Amino acid sequence: MQSLVKFFRSRLYDALAGAFFGALVGLTIALSTRYLHDLILIDWLGAAAPPIATEFVLPALGFLLVAGHAFIGFATGFGGFMGTRIGRFLYYGSATGYVRGFLGQVVFTLLGIGFLESIRALLGMTADGSTFNLFGTVISEPGFVFGALVGVIGFLLGSGVLTDWLLWITGAQTPLRHGAPPGKPEWFRYLNVDVNHKVIGIQYGYTSLLVLLAGGLFAIIFRIELAQPGMQWLTNAQYNTLFSAHGIVMIASILLGVGAMSNYLVPLMIGAADMAFPRLNAFSYWVGVPSVTLILAGMAVGGWDTGWVAYAPLSLRAPLGVQLFLMGFWINGFSSIASAINIIVTTMVMRARGMSWFRMPIFVWGAIAASLIQFTATQTVGVALMMSIAERAIGLNFFDPSGGGNPLLYQHLFWFYSHPVVYVFVLPGLGVISELLPVFTRKPLFGYKWIALSSLGIALVGFLVWAHHMFTAGMGDSLRTLFMITTMFVAVPTGVKFFSWVATLWEGKMTFETPMLFVLGAISVFLIGGISGPILGTVPTDLHLHDSYWVVGHFHATMFGGFVFPFFAALYYWYPKITGRMYKESLGKLHFWLMTPGFWVMSFGQMSIGIWGMRRRIADYDPALGIEAAQVLITVAGLVIGWSILIMLYNFVVSARTQEKAVRNPWRSRSPEWQIPSPAPEFNYDVPFVVVGDPYDYGIEAEYIRMGQAQPVPAGD
């Protein structure tokens, strides 16, 4: 173990990571110049490239670029080239957890493939199932799967997130290391393994936004295809891969976003110095990175055409890419479970003195309810995914009816997670709405206990409704009625939240800064999603609307209303807390006024064409449906939403450098995290605070917390 840890900390690994990063940089330059060359020569000048250029000069140039950068990168590991800009870039770039991890992932994937393929060769087994051609070598599907699995371990080893645990195995004690790595600048913490919950929360946040951009790009590509009937610029297979990847990549992004909010906010709000298990917290984030990598890599090795649900037996006959998608999805479960357990334990053990359960900031309730779902239900989808992987790779029969298997079993196991998980997405978001409304209306949150318990209610009822996704799948009629009734129960706790929000808004002294605008936008959009839901939950109407674009409209409205709008509200609201500076209000408002009408148009458009006969997951449609104008409108609305999100990112990046310092509590919030300097100190509260009142008594002269007093106060409630 120690030699393993030593190897990953050695100069040699530094140098290898430098060479790897250099090669990646060189390859990117080479490929982009190659592409530029083709574009200029062939597309613009209309001439074919002369043979000497394509056959000799370009490959040689490409080789030089890759090898040169790799060499410089290798040398930086031993301290060379540090006087040059490229040397410093490669040195710092290759020292990030990401590049070191990816190097480990690539190397271990190849080792894993090699190991299993040699065993198979020794046993005289021939490659069956889908095969993959790697540098001229045919790799069997089991070898491929094993390589992908081992590669994830390689990533974790390379990034260094397992180091402390590996040392514990040998009996060593390792203190929690805080601050930037030795010899590195402060910002470097955010690109490397770090145990501080605020750093990890920010890492979750920017990863979530990057992944959101990737998923949004996929959507825009296939939305442009759908704007007109007939196939314009995609093939059917590309369309299938893109909509499948859009689904799962967005889900990964949402899970990362939930992690960002929970990790950053929960310890701050309950008055803890950090999470209960800081190393596990880092693990939760870093294991998510190779999972997303696997899903994206799946697009490169044949893609897949199963949607994000991967129903068997379609998934059993899909191209090889589906294996990486299943594997990436499964690996993401580790992240969900570990992070959920961490949040629950942190809240149970580390609350400030006097902070009883009903005196916590309301967001914590949302995070807890979401975690309760995450750490249990995730296991069942893990079983479904593992069984699919095994059925494809080693031929065990579970789901394929031709061998006696039961395809409905997959759907039950899958939806037992995947229905509750939509509440994982929305519960923290709804918590943000309840958290922000009192601040911007300057009056108490209406019915605190009801809102807190309605989060638990949604989580609980969420476990009892999964089969409403399967009304047309061929299960028994009696089950359909049962699940229709349970599904209607979801409306009760959700209705509690809505009425409480309306009552909180009632006669409030509202101000309309960007976070408040996004909260109001969230309520309006979630209302669209909420009202379109029961129509799908009712069996007769669902039989009509199932698999139509109505479902797409409903789902996007719940996700935008329950997660995206509140997430953006949270980003704007806590931006001064995170960076210590205020974002540009004008750009924030512009973002809101582009995105919200854009979303309304998109959502109503999707539901309308669904009723008019547009099916989902189909690359083409009949012009006779008469929905072309609506399709163009949806695509344009999608583009507007995409641009508005780019405005937000621009706002955040620029404001962090140019805007003036924010005041300590710009929103006049009563919540504890605003009573300390921004950005928050390393351990949040130098002296623990004491809770002496209720959190949302805005407009009433009553204390919530008393800062920096150590003497005990009897707990309330």
Q: Do residues 37 and 58 touch, judged by C-beta distance below 8 A?
A: yes
391 binding another protein? (CB under 8 A): yes
Element holding 447 (H helix, E strand): none
696 binding another protein? (CB under 8 A): no
Tell me the three state secondary structure of residue 667: coil
Query: Which is nearer to another protein, 120 or 412 (by Cβ)?
Result: 412
349 binding another protein? (CB under 8 A): yes
Residue 691's nearest CA partner among 670, 669, 664, 663 is 670
Tell me which of 19, 248, 269, 387 binds another protein, using CB under 8 A.
387
Round to whole Å and give the CA distance between 107 and 150: 9
Round to whole Å and give the CA distance between 499 and 482: 27
Query: Which is nearer to another protein, 243 or 685 (by Cβ)?
Result: 685
How many amino acids of this chain bind another protein (CB under 8 A)?
59
- Tell me which stretch binds another protein (CB under 8 A): 2-10, 13-21, 354-362, 501-509: 2-10
Cis peptide before 142 (omega within 30 of 0): no
| Phi and psi torsions of 443, nearest 5° | -150, 165
Q: Name the residue with tokens 């950053």.
A: 264
SS3 content of the chain, % helix, strand, coil (to 5): 70, 0, 30
Q: How far is the CB of 376 from another protein (least distance, A)?
A: 5
Round to whole Å and give the CA distance between 549 and 611: 8
337 binding another protein? (CB under 8 A): yes
Query: Which is nearer to another protein, 391 or 542 (by Cβ)?
Result: 391
Q: Do residues 294 and 706 touch, judged by C-beta distance below 8 A?
A: no
Is the sign of the CA dihedral 138, 144, 150, 155 positive or negative? positive
**What would the x/- binding string for another protein be over residues 412 to 441, using CB under 8 A?**
xx--x-------------------------
DSSP-assigned letter for residue 334: H
- Tell me which stretch binds another protein (CB under 8 A): 230-238, 396-404, 613-621, 672-680: 396-404
395 binding another protein? (CB under 8 A): yes
Kindly give the residue spans of alpha helices, DSSP state H, lying in 538-619: 539-545, 549-559, 565-579, 585-611
Query: Which is nearer to another protein, 6 or 664 (by Cβ)?
Result: 6
112 DSSP β-pair partners: none
Query: Which is nearer to another protein, 123 or 624 (by Cβ)?
Result: 123
Element holding 695 (H helix, E strand): none
* Single-letter amino acid code for the residue at 5: V
* Single-letter amino acid code for the residue at 143: G
Structure tokens that stand for 362 in this block: 């309301």
Q: Do residues 241 and 225 touch, judged by C-beta distance below 8 A?
A: no
- Burial of residue 653, with CB atoms counted within 10 A of its CB: 0-12 exposed, 13-18 middle, 19 or more buried: exposed
Tell me which of 682, 699, 713, 716 binds another protein, using CB under 8 A.
682
Query: Which is nearer to another protein, 59 or 401 (by Cβ)?
Result: 401
Q: Do residues 583 and 655 touch, judged by C-beta distance below 8 A?
A: yes
Query: Which is nearer to another protein, 469 or 616 (by Cβ)?
Result: 469
* Single-letter amino acid code for the residue at 359: R
**What would the x/- binding string for another protein be over residues 255 to 274, using CB under 8 A?**
------------------xx
Tell me which of 97, 104, 405, 462 binds another protein, using CB under 8 A.
405
Tell me which of 82, 683, 699, 708 binds another protein, using CB under 8 A.
683
Query: Which is nearer to another protein, 50 or 179 (by Cβ)?
Result: 179
Q: How far is the CB of 399 from another protein (least distance, A)?
A: 9
Round to whole Å and give the CA distance between 391 and 145: 12
Tell me which of 214, 341, 539, 590 binds another protein, using CB under 8 A.
341
201 binding another protein? (CB under 8 A): no
Q: How far is the CB of 429 from another protein (least distance, A)?
A: 23
Structure tokens that stand for 487 in this block: 């599904």
Tell me which of 12, 42, 82, 348 binds another protein, using CB under 8 A.
348
Query: Which is nearer to another protein, 413 or 517 (by Cβ)?
Result: 413
Q: Output the CA angle 38-43-45, nearest 5 degrees.
A: 95
- Tell me which stretch binds another protein (CB under 8 A): 17-25, 261-269, 391-399, 647-655: 391-399
Round to whole Å and give the CA distance between 376 and 420: 10
Q: How far is the CB of 417 from another protein (least distance, A)?
A: 9
Tell me which of 210, 350, 491, 639 binds another protein, using CB under 8 A.
350
Tell me the three state secondary structure of residue 354: coil
607 binding another protein? (CB under 8 A): no
677 binding another protein? (CB under 8 A): no
5 binding another protein? (CB under 8 A): yes
Q: How far is the CB of 562 from another protein (least distance, A)?
A: 24
460 binding another protein? (CB under 8 A): no
| Phi and psi torsions of 581, nearest 5° | -125, 160
Q: Name the residue with tokens 């049962």.
A: 482
Round to whole Å and give the CA distance between 489 and 469: 16
Residues 168-187 that bind another protein (CB under 8 A): 169-179, 182
357 binding another protein? (CB under 8 A): no
* Cα 452 to the center of its chain, rounded Å: 25
Round to whole Å and give the CA distance between 190 and 493: 38
Tell me which of 50, 79, 403, 708 binds another protein, using CB under 8 A.
403
Query: Number of helices (H) and strands (E), helices first, in the chain?
Result: 25, 4
Q: How far is the CB of 174 from another protein (least distance, A)?
A: 6
Q: Do residues 365 and 455 touch, judged by C-beta distance below 8 A?
A: yes
Residues 363-382 that bind another protein (CB under 8 A): 375-380, 382
Query: Which is nearer to another protein, 403 or 626 (by Cβ)?
Result: 403
Q: How far is the CB of 688 from another protein (least distance, A)?
A: 12
Round to whole Å and give the CA distance between 547 and 473: 11
Query: Which is nearer to another protein, 93 or 382 (by Cβ)?
Result: 382
404 binding another protein? (CB under 8 A): yes
582 binding another protein? (CB under 8 A): no
Query: Which is nearer to another protein, 73 or 405 (by Cβ)?
Result: 405
Query: Which is nearer to another protein, 47 or 710 (by Cβ)?
Result: 710
Residue 563's nearest CA partner among 511, 525, 590 is 525
Q: How far is the CB of 485 from another protein (least distance, A)?
A: 22
Residues 9-38 that bind another protein (CB under 8 A): 9
Q: Name the residue with tokens 């605190």.
A: 448
Q: How far is the CB of 662 from another protein (least distance, A)?
A: 24
Query: Which is nearer to another protein, 106 or 280 (by Cβ)?
Result: 280
- Judged by the rule CB under 8 A, the positions of this chain that interact with another protein are 2, 5-6, 9, 167, 169-179, 182, 273-274, 276-277, 280, 337, 341-342, 344-346, 348-350, 375-380, 382-384, 386-387, 390-391, 394-398, 403-406, 409, 412-413, 416, 682-683
